[in-house]
Amino acid sequence: MDPDSIIVIIGGVLILIGLVGCVIPVLPGPLIAWAALPLLWLTTDGVADYDQTWFIVLTILMVVVTILDLLLPVLGTKLFGGTKSGKIGSLIGVVAGIMLLGPFGLILGPFLGAMFGELSANKDMDFAVKSGIGSVIGFLIGTLSKVVVVAIIAYQYYLWVF
């Protein structure tokens, strides 16, 4: 197998791992998928039709969605009236949810985390549920945003290679 093919395959694997990383909070999905793009510089001429402008656009998209992903669950909690305790609980819930419940923990974790955070701050159940819903909405918007950006990266990678 020639070196160009190996580079293209490694890039494809990085994009697949990046897609998985969109739903697993520990993996920076968009960054991993984006890492496939500079690999194309290592190919010989003619293998990848590389566009520098698109590379810059995709880099900016990757950075923006990565930053937003960190902020959206907290902003969702805040938008729905959550306190600092709810925000911290949401963050802890994302990590604990994944570790304890696997894929189901992606939604249940931030919700329960924000709820328990609010309840520990002596808020009532209605307030805690509202905060939990905000956290889940923020988390889902962040996840969807990452999937969209990784899909754009994958599509552009495909166009450059094939």
Sorted by where each begins, the domain ranges of the chain are: 3-161
In the predicted model, is pLDDT for residue 85 greater than 80? Answer: yes
- Give pLDDT tens digits for 7-66: 999 999 999 999 999 987 778 999 999 999 999 888 876 666 777 899 999 999 999 999
In terms of pTM, does the model score above 0.95?
no
Burial of 132 (0-12, 13-18, 19+ CB in 10 A): buried
**Per-residue confidence (pLDDT) for residue 115, from 0 to 100:** 93
Token code pair at residue 96 = 């604990």
- Give pLDDT tens digits for 69-84: 878 877 888 888 888 8
- Among candidate residues 50, 76, 84, the one with its CA nearest the CA of residue 158: 50
